[in-house]
Copies of this chain bind each other. A is one copy, B any other.
Amino acid sequence: MNIGKAAKLSNLTIKTVRYYANIGLVKPEQNISSGYREYTDEEVAKLKFIGKARKFDFSIDECKELLSLYEDKNRTSKEVKKITLEKISQIDSKLKDLKDLRNELSFLASNCHGDDKPNCPILDELSKN
């Protein structure tokens, strides 16, 4: 099938599918006379797989890794779990940073009257030495 149908079936944009072909992530055959990319059902399945993994916040490189595990009948679940646990730990670290940030901002905001007077503890904090 052509790229438009492959994109529709995998719920990706044509741009994204073409990008994955360019970086060698999912590389379909290309019709010699027309130059059109021709996707098989299996390639569409890979596109779907990647789409899901991307939603789970895996980077393209991580997707590449997961995809090769997915294609390897002899891979162990240990390898996949390792990548997933690493991703969870990255998320935890991001969560902590964001929570800290939220606390600080929320503290500043709660101390700011937010009225028509110029006095503002938020700007005071930002301009503190």
Asked whether A102 and B109 contact (CB < 8 A) given A77-B114, A81-B114, A120-B80, the answer is no
How many copies of this chain are found per oligomer?
A: 2
Q: Which B residues touch A122, using CB under 8 A?
A: 77, 80-81, 84
User: How many residues of chain A are within 8 Å of chain B by beta carbon?
Assistant: 52
Main secondary structure of the interface of A (DSSP, over half): helix
Scan residues 92-109 of chain A and give those whose CB is less than 8 A from a CB of chain B. Answer: 92, 94-95, 98-99, 101-102, 104-106, 108-109
- Whether A104 lies near B69 (C-beta < 8 A) is no
Closest to A129 in B: B48
Q: Does A31 contact B (CB under 8 A)?
A: no
> What's the Cα separation between A70 and B57 when bound, in Å?
37
- Whether B120 lies near A77 (C-beta < 8 A) is yes
- Whether B49 lies near A115 (C-beta < 8 A) is no
- Whether B74 lies near A118 (C-beta < 8 A) is yes
